[in-house]
Structure 1
Amino acid sequence: MMVIFVSECEKKALKRTRRVLDAFANRIGNNTWQTVITQEGLLAVQTLLRKTASKNTAVSCHWIRSRSRSQFLWVVGNKSKFNTEGVVAVNSTKKNPFDTYIESDWQYLPLIKALVALSALLHDWGKASELFQKKLAPTSKNKYKADPLRHEWVSILLLKALIGNNDNSDKAWLSCLSDGDIPENELKENIINEKKPLSQLPPAAKLIAWLIVSHHRLPQTKEDYRGEASATIDSLLNRITKEWGYCNNQYKQEDNRNENDCLKFPEGLLTKSRKWLKQLKRWAKNLSDMLPLIDSAMQDGSYRVILHHARLCLMLGDHYYSSQDAAKNWQGEIELYANSDRKTNEYKQRLDEHLLGVAENALRTAHLLPAFEQEPPVVKNTHELKKPSPNGYKWQDKATEEIHQWKQQVDINKVGFFAVNMASTGCGKTFANAKIMHTLSLDGESLRYILALGLRTLTLQTGDEYRKRVKLTKKELAVLIGSKAIAELHANNSSFDEDKSEEELGSESKESLLDEYVDYECDLPTDGLTTVLTTNKAKQFLYAPVLTCTIDHIIAATETKRGGRYILPSLRLMSSDLVIDEIDDFTGSDLVAIGRLIHLAGMLGRKVMISSATIPPHLAQGYFNAYQEGWQLYCLTRSSAKPFIGCAWIDENNTKISSLTHSQNKGSLIDYLD
């Protein structure tokens, strides 16, 4: 194959790059090389470039396919030096075109930011209580004992007291905050641990209350509300009673002294913190201006998407800032603390510092939400997927051709897609799935998706097998290794006291987002999305173009009830289509959980394919309905999305595709494809 390398490197990176490329190719310009090379040789060049890469490195590779056609393969280093076709910019502007995209398509992003900021500034308000502050003291005997009332519950009680003191209207309590006129003494007197403090709240308060009460774990109710199609935020908040606020049932049998200490605030309610009040006033005014937008979202149901993104940003901001050291020379006016240091047991972050730090980082995450859809890389070197399938597997080419023809009739970026691949065992479904997802990509030349397996264990050998079939390297396909491998790798690697939980230290948000080992060798950028993630494992999980894992790793996006383990799968789903293989391995509640995952994928605007030799028609119909409901919510929050879904039924004999609207969900999926 004949290739051309183009270097846009700067400073010392230019010399390092020239040394590598001069060894493999002929220099035909100051920053351009050309050569005839094998696939193995090209991989060696890419590997050497990665080893010497720095922030000033930027090298692209183009494959000359014919006299009139070339194919852009990859970039090593700074991808912003080239566009999606490998073209170098010749003019520049100070205006950020990305902002235009945000304004035109993410119509609820300003509301998400306002909700994130205000909830972050109030999420740990309850930590100002007398009991929590005594608990954090270095000499406290109860330092590692659970609180009688959870601190987020106390925060909700304070919010309820503030709202009740202002005529129960959003305009009134937000005006109180925006004016900086918080009636501290009245709140202390009126705070009551009532039975259902979350019921009968005005619309904006409902959203803020949900974010606060769920920022560590989803509220527990007697019934699992997630299976109810008609469940609303009102019915959910109405079910959350004060029993949920207790950390441990043993406190119900004790006297009320400890519980009462959770509702006392001798050091005040942060009103003496000028920095905190300044931000509180700003974002309360901001949210007050968006009350009509909130009313609209509550009426059409799009608040579900808004809350999903807002909670994710809040929890990721809390996780990130809780992992940082206390700010040096913090100029605070109050002696209230948010957490303590695991190693020294001493005080760590001040409470107002923590609230402001979480708000800042949560807002940064919210601003990056559109980038989570656009920035993660794709595989461009996919010529293996373009080769004709061998005899006996020609159905794969027929399926991709049908999908290609359908793509000519729609704007693939604006419509949903749900596929059922029911090819028989031994017909090459796995490779067909890769070819189909390749065809479905925006340019028809790239690959980025999640391959969720129906297996209960996943080993490196299984990952190697998938790499071999799809012809992807370790730089293009990541394998998430299961818990058994982790136990073997890390059995003797314990560097802290496991008896002390993060909850006991006042920092539940510090718990790891991902424990599994990610087998992925690509270099990671040091800016952009990676600034809101704290570990390389988390960055690898997000950045790998193709991720192979057992479904339990990705289904955490919907099944995590406590902690932040849902964050990374949710972020990954924002940029990756989803393929669920061997779906008939599951039964009962597992199938319901998979339905929730498919619904979330639709809600995030992704394409979904389920694959197995045997899929009952009612199961395919149910999953299509779940996806369609999710896609409908996505359309409500995006101005460019269309309420159409391409639905494909694929097997080794035929491929049928139809474009369905939301109104057609009452019929049979198979009827529409006949």
Structure 2
Amino acid sequence: MIVTFISQCEKKATIRTRQVLDAFAQRIGDNTWQTIITQDGLNAVKSLLKKSATKNTSVSCHWVRGRSHVELIWIVGARNKFNDQGFVPVNSTSKNLSKNHWENDWEYLPLIKALVAISALLHDWGKASVLFQNKLRKKEKRRESDPVRHEWVSCEILNALISRSSEKSNDESWLNVLIEGNWNETDLKKEIKDLSLKKGMLSELPPLAQLVAWLIVSHHRLPIKDDRSYKDKFMDNMLSNILKIIDREWGYSTQSNKDNIPKCFEFKEGLLSQSDQWMKSLQKWAGRLLKEKRLAEQALQNGAWRVILHHARLALMLGDHYYSSCEKDLHWKNKLNLIANTDIQGQPKQYLDEHLVHVSQNALTVAQSLSRLESDMQYAYDIQALKKTSQVGFEWQDRAVKSITQFSSDNSGSKERGWFIVNMASTGKGKTIANAKIMQSLSHEGNAVRYILALGLRTLTLQTGDAYRKDLGLDRNELAVLIGSKAYQELHEQKTKQSQDTPTYYGSESNEDLLDDQLEFDDSFTPDFMNVLFPANKAQRNKAFLYTPVLVCTIDHIMAATETTRGGKYILPCLRLLSSDLVIDEVDDFDQKDLIAIARLVHLVGMLGRKVMISSATIPPDLAKGLFNAYQSGWKLYCAFKNITLTKISTMWVDEFGSSIQLQEVNENQTYNKNHDDFIKKRCTQLLYQPVKHAPEYVSCSSIVNESSDSLEKKYSDCIKNQIEKFHQYHHTIDKITGKRVSFGVVRIANVQTCIRIARYLMNAEWSKDV
């Protein structure tokens, strides 16, 4: 093929681009190249350009297809240097904006930043206790649990500070104490001892203090109680009512080492009031938080507080994770001997006030970057396979895309709404490619993709990754494949163990890897604002997980966003969901416990303002309706957070026979249920006219239900063996040479251990003479 390259690079990117293109093509102008090249050679050029790309890179490639036709193939780097056809503008205008575009609809960002800053400055306040300092300074490091965890102690100190203020129920009172910096440590220590045994402490705090206390108490783990009976009878939208039932027994104390409880509330080396930098930061951000009181009251009324706390906790934990993995600040001016953690040799690493101030700074930077993570991430453009007309038998894919295009033109702003899509095309009809085409048509410009494809099986994940590379032409810069090393059931079982205290040697539970499993990707350019999220030694894989346009993974990795109750494994999935839509393939393959977790995940996706598609040929009506209900409740919170008045959700049903798109009012479940039932009726009617490819036969096992556990499995295995022989008689083929009857079949069993036992039984079973 004959191709033309046009470079609009700036600064040093111009030199690097010329070095690559000069090696493959002839320069026919200062910034233009042309050559005859194969597809493999063109792929190599694109890959080399991406590896050396920076924010100043911008290169387009055009295919000269004839005397009168030139087609844009791809653009590497900044796309704003070209139009949709790859042409360079002859003139441009500029407009001075008072705010960056990514901040325009984040009204609550100042409140998030103020909450993050104050919470970060106080999150490890409890580490100043005698018990924690003695533990860090011990020469012999032993695995031992704190009788009361330091995050709960930090909340107790905050509670005591508020109790010492003039008006306990008023946020202005305790914030002014921090602003003026006139609190007395001696009085505060006495107040802590007096209040340390009081229950219901969190719910008695004033509103802003409740928000701060939640962030402090949950910055390592969510409150969890071994007795889960409260979940059946409690569901409340008021933060104060939620905090009313949480106390020290929710995972913040242990039965062991009870004699040392008083040491958790002794502070012989002070409470950091002698640290000038820490006090200065507290004064600054207490003032900022006080200014955002009106916003906080508004959020507590409309429900947006849930989204605010989600983002704030994410920023706080990521900031803590970042600085905990850094070395100590050699320039820190210290007046105290309180330490926050130790290094791997057990030596003191970071001072406590140093740690708190730096975590606050890093967490603020993360909070500022959240809006950019939502809007400035990479999309995959110029996917030729998605531009082509579908092959015969798969025309329904293009019809679905046309229906979205028509709906968008008839309903302005529809692509900014929530979308809940049900794809029920039959097996073998090309749902995987159709999902990609649909998600591309739902992008803002209708010509790019960015989404997560979540699957249940590791083998299916690998196969889908290979299919995307082969059929869609996505390279390793555009597609990342993440394979889970454990089934989701192990994640579910892990939840029962997470309430147990697993202490660390080094005093920092935040210094952990955020991504454990293997990620297949190619390292390439990522924007500068992502550098503040991760330390350099851990950045490569984490950035690829977030920045790569299409992520194919086992669903357990994304479920970590809602199922992780302890540690930071939820951070990367949550950050990814800020900027990615979600497609769940074969959603009906999961059991009931998994579906509860999937519903939580779908709720989170709605709360973050992203689109959801569930895809399978056999989706039960209750499953689709239940997941939509979870999605719409999340979308309602997102609308409150973004002050969106057009809260309607675009609902879509699609299969090989047609598609239907409806605008759905939030909380009108009956309307959605009727629309879904109407779609299913039409689908069933159409399927009646299709040739029968699979005829089921139901085998009754009622006679063995009452068998003892020892004989039940043998009887069940006998049923399977007898049915295999029966199907063999019906569906065999006679070999022309030997005259033997040959048939092939599969016995599908979900549980691995059961599958092994039945396989062994069938191998050793006595079969009929003609089998």
The two structures share one fold, judged by TM-score above 0.5 = yes
Alignment of 1:632-671 (within 5 A): 632-639=636-643, 642-671=646-675
Distance 2:460 2:591 in 1: 20
Q: Give unpaired runs (5+ residues) of structure 1.
A: 486-499
Who is 2:528 aligned against?
A: 527
Alignment of 1:39-188 (within 5 A): 39-52=39-52, 57-62=57-62, 71=72, 73-76=74-77, 99-139=99-139, 141=140, 144-166=143-165, 167-168=167-168, 169-188=170-189
Who is 2:197 aligned against?
A: 193
Who is 2:285 aligned against?
A: 283
Who is 1:203 aligned against?
A: 207
Who is 1:223 aligned against?
A: 228
Bigger drift between 627-636 and 345-354 goes to: 627-636
Output the amino acid matched with 1:577: D
Distance 2:432 2:614 in 1: 11
Contact 2:57/2:76 (<8 A) preserved? no
What SS does the aligned partner of 2:578 have?
helix
Bigger drift between 49-58 and 202-211 goes to: 49-58
- Measured at CA, do residues 154 and 482 of structure 1 come closer, stay the same or move farther in structure 2, by a change above 3 Å? same
Who is 1:509 aligned against?
A: 510
- Equivalent residue pairs, number: 652
Who is 1:317 aligned against?
A: 319
Q: CA deviation at 1:171?
A: 1.1
Distance 1:300 1:15 in 2: 53
Contact 1:320/1:532 (<8 A) preserved? yes
Distance 1:555 1:673 in 2: 29
Deviations 1:430-467 (A, max 9, x none): 11111111111111110110000122556645522342
Deviations 1:98-147 (A, max 9, x none): x34345310111100000000000000001111111111152x4654221
Distance 1:103 1:29 in 2: 40
- Measured at CA, do residues 304 and 360 of structure 1 come closer, stay the same or move farther in structure 2, by a change above 3 Å? same
Distance 2:387 2:229 in 1: 46
1:326 has 2:328 as partner: yes
1:552 has 2:528 as partner: no
Distance 1:668 1:374 in 2: 30
- Measured at CA, do residues 423 and 25 of structure 1 come closer, stay the same or move farther in structure 2, by a change above 3 Å? same
1:440 has 2:439 as partner: no
Output the amino acid matched with 1:548: V
Q: CA deviation at 1:60?
A: 3.8
Distance 1:294 1:56 in 2: 40
Who is 1:306 aligned against?
A: 308
What SS does the aligned partner of 1:408 have?
helix
Aligned counterpart in structure 1 of residue 298 of structure 2, from 271, 296, 299:
296
Give the TM-score normalised by structure 1. Answer: 0.90
Contact 2:514/2:569 (<8 A) preserved? yes
Distance 1:363 1:568 in 2: 17
- Measured at CA, do residues 2 and 231 of structure 1 come closer, stay the same or move farther in structure 2, by a change above 3 Å? farther
What SS does the aligned partner of 2:614 have?
strand
Who is 1:240 aligned against?
A: 246
Distance 1:55 1:280 in 2: 36
Aligned counterpart in structure 2 of residue 338 of structure 1, from 315, 337, 340:
340
Who is 2:425 aligned against?
A: 423
1:7 has 2:12 as partner: no
Who is 1:402 aligned against?
A: 403
Alignment of 1:345-364 (within 5 A): 345-364=346-365
Deviations 1:147-173 (A, max 9, x none): 111000100100111112222221111
Who is 1:492 aligned against?
A: none
Who is 2:457 aligned against?
A: 455
Who is 2:21 aligned against?
A: 21
Contact 1:188/1:264 (<8 A) preserved? yes
Who is 1:491 aligned against?
A: none
Deviations 1:33-68 (A, max 9, x none): 244655433212112334555676543435578969
Distance 1:462 1:618 in 2: 27
Q: CA deviation at 1:537?
A: 1.4
Output the amino acid matched with 2:150: H
1:608 has 2:612 as partner: yes
Output the amino acid matched with 2:509: E
Distance 1:64 1:234 in 2: 66
What SS does the aligned partner of 1:306 have?
helix
What SS does the aligned partner of 2:250 have?
helix
Output the amino acid matched with 1:151: H
Output the amino acid matched with 1:379: A
What SS does the aligned partner of 2:510 have?
helix
Q: CA deviation at 1:84?
A: 8.6
What SS does the aligned partner of 2:662 have?
strand
Q: CA deviation at 1:324?
A: 0.2
Contact 2:602/2:631 (<8 A) preserved? yes
Distance 2:602 2:552 in 1: 17
Distance 2:122 2:63 in 1: 54
- Measured at CA, do residues 64 and 645 of structure 1 come closer, stay the same or move farther in structure 2, by a change above 3 Å? farther
Q: CA deviation at 1:368?
A: 0.7
Contact 1:144/1:505 (<8 A) preserved? no
Distance 2:83 2:302 in 1: 38
Distance 1:89 1:352 in 2: 55
- Measured at CA, do residues 160 and 649 of structure 1 come closer, stay the same or move farther in structure 2, by a change above 3 Å? same
- Measured at CA, do residues 55 and 377 of structure 1 come closer, stay the same or move farther in structure 2, by a change above 3 Å? closer
Output the amino acid matched with 1:156: C
- Measured at CA, do residues 84 and 264 of structure 1 come closer, stay the same or move farther in structure 2, by a change above 3 Å? farther
Output the amino acid matched with 2:277: K
Distance 1:378 1:129 in 2: 49
Output the amino acid matched with 2:352: L
- Measured at CA, do residues 453 and 641 of structure 1 come closer, stay the same or move farther in structure 2, by a change above 3 Å? farther
Q: Give unpaired runs (5+ residues) of structure 2.
A: 488-500, 679-771
Contact 1:658/1:672 (<8 A) preserved? no
Q: CA deviation at 1:530?
A: 3.2
- Measured at CA, do residues 340 and 131 of structure 1 come closer, stay the same or move farther in structure 2, by a change above 3 Å? same
What SS does the aligned partner of 1:73 have?
strand
Contact 1:371/1:529 (<8 A) preserved? no
- Measured at CA, do residues 8 and 582 of structure 1 come closer, stay the same or move farther in structure 2, by a change above 3 Å? same
What SS does the aligned partner of 2:449 have?
coil
Distance 2:532 2:79 in 1: 17
Distance 1:233 1:323 in 2: 33
Who is 2:681 aligned against?
A: none
RMSD: 2.8
What SS does the aligned partner of 1:548 have?
strand
Bigger drift between 631-640 and 147-156 goes to: 631-640
Deviations 1:472-492 (A, max 9, x none): 22221110022179xxxxxxx
Who is 2:267 aligned against?
A: 265
Give the TM-score normalised by structure 2. Answer: 0.79
- Measured at CA, do residues 566 and 181 of structure 1 come closer, stay the same or move farther in structure 2, by a change above 3 Å? same
Distance 2:25 2:348 in 1: 59
- Measured at CA, do residues 240 and 523 of structure 1 come closer, stay the same or move farther in structure 2, by a change above 3 Å? same
Distance 1:369 1:64 in 2: 42
* Structure with max Cα Rg: 2
Distance 1:289 1:531 in 2: 27
Who is 1:375 aligned against?
A: 376
Distance 1:91 1:324 in 2: 44
Who is 2:578 aligned against?
A: 574
